[in-house]
């Protein structure tokens, strides 16, 4: 009996030792099992209805429509071409964009258009505002609109999240949460250093969380510090806009070993060239706290084309082809990160081919022959 008990104890000790070694091995290999988050869940649903007075034309603007823009950290307006999706619209549709953006900034429930926009094009105009405006974090992608018998949109009814119930208070909380970081960024000597600061700040302060509230907004990343790819990307876009650095929000699809789905990342312009930036994937799930990764910092579209596919609209933004400001070129190499799965791939046709599309005022449905973006 004593011998049997001794044998059992020895067996239990051996099992405990094996479990302990397995736990150590898991800890040592933790960084081999990092995963990449993708959770772009855009509510771009639109509903339409015929205007209550369908034979009435829109009430034309009698005064110039001013562009609604953010201010830089020094209080001056950002550059007029800071809004990359707006830049691809015709002059007429830019005015409609400005009306919608200004109305949402005030939290208006209904926005009446004073320039003609064909019902076939309102989705593109509205989506342009949505993608360009991380500061309007109470705005959602869904909306409704009314149109008249001429096929022109008469009014837009935006959809807001709960943050829209106190725009002033939530905007103050948002700006306060970033004030110190933006002040530090503003003092840096050049734009590339500011880009790196924003990248490092966001990857070190945000926890990736599929269940984060308002996770499609910059607010979730900046104030709550829990978000998904959309929040990371919009927060980065906002920080760039405050520095007067041109930056675009990219909506698309990502492909990983665990599947594919909606994803968001950015492009940023430095010295006249655009670079791709995926702050989310430089903060992989399971990474050690305090460790920085730069695998998706200022890269080209081609270098991530195998796992980052732009949507049709985002594909019209400028191509990311810059190489002079990669992490290796600007800061001497990827000294912290591990190259996970960034691979060379072929670019889909049509990347970076956008230019201003000249569309005049649309009066009747049979005059609608063009899309606001290039085909």
What pLDDT, in 10s, does the model give residues 255-296?
877 778 889 999 999 999 999 999 999 987 766 667 788 999
pLDDT of residue 259: 75
Q: What is the pTM of this model?
A: 0.80
The H or E element spanning position 105 is helix 91-105
Our CA angle for 65, 70, 75, nearest 5°, is 115
Tokens of 145: 């609109």
Q: Which of 214-223, 329-338, 359-368 has the highest mean pLDDT?
A: 214-223
Q: Give mean pLDDT, residues 105-133.
A: 94
By mean pLDDT, which of 243-252, 342-351, 355-364 is the weakest?
Answer: 355-364
pLDDT of residue 80: 87
Token pair 């810059």 in the structure block, residue: 322
Q: What Å distances lie between residue 239 and 32, 113, 303, 320, CA to CA?
A: 31, 30, 25, 19
Cα end-to-end span (Å), the chain: 85
Domains identified in the chain and CATH numbers: 46-164 (no CATH), 177-331 (3.10.620.30)
- Strand-pairing partners, residue 146, are 49, 155
Q: Give burial (CB, 10 Å; 0-12/13-18/19+) of 258.
A: exposed
Q: Give mean pLDDT, residues 363-373.
A: 34
The widest CA-to-CA distance across the chain, in whole angstroms, is: 102
- More confident position, 251 or 25: 251
Helix (DSSP H) and strand (DSSP E) numbers for the chain: 9, 10
SS3 call for 185: helix
Statement: residue 335 has pLDDT above 60: no
What pLDDT, in 10s, does the model give residues 68-82?
889 999 999 999 899
Name the nearest CA neighbour of 150 among 290, 53, 80.
Answer: 53
């Amino acid at each position: 009996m004593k011998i049997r008990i001794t044998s059992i104890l020895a067996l239990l000790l051996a099992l405990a030792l094996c479990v302990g070694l397995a736990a150590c091995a898991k800890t040592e290999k933790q960084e081999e099992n990092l995963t990449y988050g993708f959770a772009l869940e855009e509510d771009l649903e639109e509903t339409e209805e015929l205007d209550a007075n369908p034979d009435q034309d829109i009430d034309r603007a009698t005064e110039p429509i001013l562009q609604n823009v953010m201010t830089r950290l020094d209080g001056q307006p950002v550059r007029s071409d800071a809004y990359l999706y707006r830049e691809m619209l015709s002059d007429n549709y830019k005015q409609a964009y400005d009306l919608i953006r200004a109305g949402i900034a005030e939290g208006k429930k209904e926005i009446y258009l004073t320039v003609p926009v064909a019902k076939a094009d309102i989705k593109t105009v509205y989506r342009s505002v949505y993608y360009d405006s991380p500061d309007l974090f109470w705005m959602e992608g869904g909306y409704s609109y009314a149109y008249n018998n001429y096929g022109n949109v008469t009014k837009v009814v935006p959809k807001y999240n709960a943050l829209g119930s106190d725009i002033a208070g939530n905007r103050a909380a948002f700006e306060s949460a970033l004030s110190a970081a933006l002040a530090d960024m503003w003092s840096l000597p050049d734009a590339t250093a500011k880009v790196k600061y924003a990248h490092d700040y966001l990857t070190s302060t945000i926890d990736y969380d599929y269940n984060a509230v308002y996770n499609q907004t910059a607010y979730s990343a900046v104030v709550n510090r829990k978000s998904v790819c959309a929040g990371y990307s919009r927060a980065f876009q906002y920080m760039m806009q405050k520095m007067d650095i041109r930056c675009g929000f990219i909506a698309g699809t990502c492909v990983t070993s665990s599947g594919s789905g909606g994803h968001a990342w950015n492009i940023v312009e430095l010295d006249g060239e655009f670079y791709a930036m995926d702050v989310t994937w430089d903060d992989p799930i399971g990474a050690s706290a305090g460790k920085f990764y730069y695998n998706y910092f200022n890269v080209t579209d081609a270098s991530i084309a195998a796992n980052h596919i732009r949507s049709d609209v985002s594909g019209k933004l400028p191509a990311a082809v810059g190489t002079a400001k990669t992490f290796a070129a600007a800061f001497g190499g990827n000294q912290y990160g591990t190259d996970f799965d960034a691979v060379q791939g072929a670019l889909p046709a049509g990347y970076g081919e956008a230019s201003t599309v000249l569309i005049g005022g649309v009066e009747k449905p049979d005059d609608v022959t063009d899309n606001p973006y290039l085909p």
